């Protein structure tokens, strides 16, 4: 019988995490059921979101509910308990690829209009824009973020350190950013005096006002910002960096977040492509645009369709000539000739910069050789964070995971705080003029001069989440005894307002014995690095974008991957959201599974999130068995790490499915031998014995399927039956799990 209100919701997402869930979910369901806990599943995958957006164009059997919208309601409830796996933060090329796959499967979803002309096409594009970028996160993250390295993982890394590339003082790797004309330097900010509604209009040279979007509701005390990236300054900057990389013999690479900053960063990526190939676009730009081939989509999208153009061979030759004449270009995949300008979603700053720093400050050239790199991050808001880390490594050498301290994070993200570019308040300006933002009384809040092609954006940060963020930071500082540092820059308009609020809300707490600091991001980086090199911990307290960056940067140094972080979101209304790590390597894992029936995805993040979910459930509902599940799962995870049962890297070793078996084995054994609940021990005793007795058989069944291609029936929308068959190949293990039900 289910315990009252004992429910956990898992999310079905994309790529490797979704495939792995097919293997892990039956284990979770079987074990949780013994504690009266039901486990639900919500599909928030890219394909699922597309299908849900077009019910009117699909057959009844093909339609599915809008699970993301339903979860958006669920996370506002006190009883919410959601485990969220990594999902695709889709770029437009990924959306188009998913649409093509669904159409091939018989789903009559419409094509994505490139240049909508009719009301129908505009409405279609508007629906597709709802699935772009990190649209999932603002819906689900109705609380602030608490991310930290679990003790079991930290201890494991100290005895099993990951490789770190050596650094030398002679390294020429550096970060390049703009110093004027960017989002940082042009930012304006205001605090709302009462609830209001803001109109955003573009005023043309003749004084005509055109609304850029519907009015924006704002709350009392809300911080609202407006800024612009001046395209003329951006182009000048990018051209200078291409020349610099050539002159200093550095690999050229651009690091953006085109998935999260879904409007601004693809545009900046497109300008980077044009800056690298100026002659080609000067000569053939109109022909490419006329064929629907855009630099914003990346070099791969252009080169892949040149055969359809009359001038295709000449354009291809021009690209090849400029590629040969320009600086060496950092690669995504040297073996396959895929450059870092191939697609906007392939070099993502929060993952790519830590990986480069871990690899001696190197990226890879066309020959597959490592080389010093010029990392181009146009906007200066957070670029200096990476420069400080590079300078530190140049001066002190690579980090040592066996002695390294930790930099956990308390992140401001509730209420879609600071989700730059992943909302509907970012625009590419169509003509010269001024963007004017006014309140309901017609009073001007912001006036921003703009030129054609500039990127204007606004963002909102609500007051209640800020107050909760400060409270969470103080709580973590008190629990841990570690310093808590707010990474805020008084020179920046937005941060100046946040600093004032932080000081106000800190006064509501007893800070006796606590070290709470406010530092600019560059100073905070240096402060934290000095401490972690001495084995000390420092809590970083940041806004949403910097949260995203730091919870990859420091974990990749500390743990080798951000996927091993414990990520808890205490929801504002009392529920809990438990995130399971990053999915940046998920595409390569899927490719390996399809070619070799071997999945390297590490589900450790899911194990950690599940234990935290059980613990939260126990506290909220009084379900003592949920706490037993949490405690035994923690011990099983520790043993899992000690005995090195994570997926291997090559055929013939256990992969993701084998790691799930060993977790189930150790968890069942822990439950069978725990003394807190005799009935649970009795229930799991037979399973623990059977799994132990059949370990050799089960492992043999899991290994036997490796080395052969598998057909999942789709990448974005795989066939459910085929996927379940591939991900659960051990009949013995499957049958034994059913004995718990």
- At 277-321, the pLDDT tens digits run 999 999 999 999 999 999 999 999 999 999 889 899 999 999 999
Residue 180 scores a pLDDT above 70: yes
3-state secondary structure of 552: helix
Sheet holding 145-148, edge to edge: 38-43, 7-12, 81-84, 576-579, 566-570, 145-148, 409-411, 539-542, 484-487, 516-519
> Could you tell me if 227 and 420 are in contact, meaning their C-beta atoms sit under 8 angstroms apart?
no
Q: Which helix (H) or strand (E) holds 456?
A: strand 455-461
Q: Tell me whether strands 338-339 and 455-461 are parallel, antiparallel or unpaired.
A: unpaired
Q: pLDDT tens digits, residue range 59-106?
A: 999 999 999 999 999 999 999 999 999 888 888 889 999 999 999 999
> Could you tell me if 188 and 225 are in contact, meaning their C-beta atoms sit under 8 angstroms apart?
yes
pTM value?
A: 0.87
Which tokens sit at 634?
A: 């923690």
- Residue-level pLDDT at 25: 98
Residue 589 scores a pLDDT above 60: yes
For residue 420, name the pLDDT band (cuts at 50, 70, 90).
Answer: low
For residue 587, name the pLDDT band (cuts at 50, 70, 90).
Answer: confident
Q: pLDDT tens digits, residue range 4-26?
A: 568 999 999 999 999 999 999 99
DSSP letter at 217 equals: E
Kindly give, in sequence order, each residue whose CB lies less than 8 Å from that of residue 666, ignoring residues fewer than 6 positions away.
635, 636, 639, 640
Q: What is the CB neighbour count within 10 angstroms for residue 165?
A: 14
For residue 52, name the pLDDT band (cuts at 50, 70, 90).
Answer: very high
- Residue-level pLDDT at 419: 64
Burial 403-429 (b: 16+ CB within 10 A, else e): ebbbbbbbbbbbbbbbbbbbbebbbbb
Backbone angles phi, psi at 563, to 5 degrees: -70, -15
Q: Poorest-confidence range of 17-26, 262-271, 495-504, 577-586? A: 577-586
Residue 1 scores a pLDDT above 50: no
Residue 485 scores a pLDDT above 80: yes
Burial 246-278 (b: 16+ CB within 10 A, else e): eeeebbbbbbbbbbbbbbbbbbbbbbbbbbbbb
Mean pLDDT of 337-355: 93
Residue 341 scores a pLDDT above 90: yes
Which of 565, 539, 541, 540 has the alpha carbon at shortest distance from 552?
A: 565
Percentage with pLDDT > 70 across the chain: 98
Q: How far is CA 455 from the centre of its chain?
A: 23
Q: Poorest-confidence range of 35-39, 112-116, 695-699? A: 112-116
Q: What is the CB neighbour count within 10 angstroms for residue 492?
A: 22
Q: What is the distance between the alpha carbons of residues 517 and 139, in angstroms, rounded to a whole number?
A: 31
Q: Poorest-confidence range of 33-47, 132-146, 521-535? A: 132-146
Q: What is the distance between the alpha carbons of residues 463 and 214, in angstroms, rounded to a whole number?
A: 22
Residue 375 scores a pLDDT above 50: yes
For residue 120, name the pLDDT band (cuts at 50, 70, 90).
Answer: very high
Mean pLDDT of the chain: 94
For residue 114, name the pLDDT band (cuts at 50, 70, 90).
Answer: confident
Q: Which residue has the tokens 């200093």?
A: 248
Mean pLDDT of 244-263: 94
> Could you tell me if 197 and 217 are in contact, meaning their C-beta atoms sit under 8 angstroms apart?
yes
DSSP letter at 224 equals: E
Which of 627, 597, 599, 598 has the alpha carbon at shortest distance from 614?
A: 627
Residue 724 scores a pLDDT above 50: yes
Tallying the residues shown for the chain, one arrives at: 741
Which tokens sit at 632?
A: 């035994």
Mean pLDDT of 160-185: 96
């Amino acid at each position: 019988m289910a315990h009252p209100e004992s429910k956990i919701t898992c999310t079905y997402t994309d790529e490797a995490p979704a495939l792995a869930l097919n293997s892990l979910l039956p284990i979770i369901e079987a074990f949780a059921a013994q504690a009266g806990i039901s486990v639900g599943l919500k599909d928030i995958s890219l394909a699922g979101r597309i299908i849900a957006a077009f019910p009117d164009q699909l057959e009844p059997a093909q339609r599915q509910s809008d699970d993301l919208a339903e979860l958006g309601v669920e996370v506002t409830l006190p009883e919410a308990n959601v485990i969220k796996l990594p999902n695709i933060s889709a770029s437009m090329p990924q959306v188009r690829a998913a649409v093509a796959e669904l159409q091939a499967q018989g789903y009559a979803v419409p094509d994505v209009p490139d240049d909508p002309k009719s009301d129908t096409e505009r409405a279609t594009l508007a629906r597709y824009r709802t699935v772009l970028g990190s649209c999932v996160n603002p819906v689900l993250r109705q609380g602030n973020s608490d991310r930290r390295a679990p003790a079991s993982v930290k201890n494991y890394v100290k005895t099993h350190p990951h490789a770190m590339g050596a650094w030398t003082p002679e390294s020429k790797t550096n970060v390049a950013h703009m110093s004027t004309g960017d989002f940082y330097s042009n930012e304006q900010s205001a605090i709302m005096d009462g609830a209001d509604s803001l109109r955003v209009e573009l005023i043309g040279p003749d004084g005509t006002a055109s609304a850029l979007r519907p009015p924006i509701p704002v709350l009392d005390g809300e911080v609202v910002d407006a800024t612009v990236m001046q395209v003329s300054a951006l182009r000048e900057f990018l051209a200078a960096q291409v020349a610099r990389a050539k002159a200093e013999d550095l690999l050229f690479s651009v690091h953006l977040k085109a998935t999260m900053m879904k409007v601004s960063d693809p545009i900046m990526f497109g300008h980077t492509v044009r800056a690298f190939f100026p002659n080609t676009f000067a000569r053939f730009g109109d022909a490419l645009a006329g064929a629907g081939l855009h630099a914003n989509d990346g070099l791969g999208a252009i080169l892949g369709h040149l055969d359809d153009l009359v001038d295709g061979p000449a354009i291809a030759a021009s690209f090849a000539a400029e590629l040969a004449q320009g600086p060496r270009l950092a690669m995504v995949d040297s073996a396959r000739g895929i450059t870092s300008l191939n697609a906007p979603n392939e070099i993502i700053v929060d993952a790519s910069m830590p990986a480069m720093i871990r690899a001696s400050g190197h990226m890879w050239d066309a020959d597959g050789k490592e080389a010093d790199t010029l990392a181009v991050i146009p906007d200066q808001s957070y670029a200096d964070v990476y420069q400080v880390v590079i300078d530190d490594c140049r001066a002190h050498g690579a980090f040592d995971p066996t002695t390294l301290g930790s930099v956990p994070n308390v992140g401001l993200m509730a209420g879609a705080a600071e989700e730059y570019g992943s909302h509907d308040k970012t625009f590419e300006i169509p003509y010269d003029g001024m963007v004017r933002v006014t309140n309901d009384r017609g009073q001007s809040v912001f006036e921003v001069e703009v030129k054609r092609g500039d990127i204007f954006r606004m963002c909102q940060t609500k007051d209640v989440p800020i107050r909760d963020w400060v409270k969470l930071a103080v709580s973590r500082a008190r629990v841990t005894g570690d310093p808590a540092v707010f990474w805020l820059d008084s020179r920046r308009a937005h941060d100046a307002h946040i600093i004032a609020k932080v000081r106000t809300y800190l006064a509501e707490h007893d800070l006796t014995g606590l070290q709470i600091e406010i530092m600019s991001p560059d100073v905070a980086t240096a402060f934290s690095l000095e401490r972690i090199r001495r084995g000390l911990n420092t809590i970083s307290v940041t806004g949403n974008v910097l949260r995203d960056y730091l919870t990859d940067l420091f974990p990749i140094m500390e743990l080798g991957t951000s996927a091993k972080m414990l990520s808890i979101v205490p929801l504002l209304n009392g529920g809990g959201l438990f995130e399971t790590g990053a999915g940046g390597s998920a595409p390569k894992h899927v490719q390996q599974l399809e070619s070799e029936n071997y999945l390297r995805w590490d589900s450790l993040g899911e194990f950690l999130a599940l234990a935290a979910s059980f613990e939260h459930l126990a506290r909220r509902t009084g379900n003592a068995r949920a706490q037993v599940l949490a405690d035994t799962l923690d011990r099983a995870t520790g043993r899992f790490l000690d005995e090195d049962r994570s997926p291997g890297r090559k055929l013939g070793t256990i992969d993701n499915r084998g790691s799930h078996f060993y977790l189930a084995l150790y968890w069942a054994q822990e439950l069978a031998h725990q003394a807190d609940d005799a009935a649970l021990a009795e229930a799991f005793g037979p399973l623990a014995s059977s799994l132990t007795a059949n370990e050799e058989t089960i492992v043999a069944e899991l290994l036997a399927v490796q080395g052969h291609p598998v057909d999942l029936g789709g990448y974005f929308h795989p066939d459910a039956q085929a996927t379940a068959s591939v991900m659960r190949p051990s009949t013995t293990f499957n049958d034994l799990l059913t004995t718990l039900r």
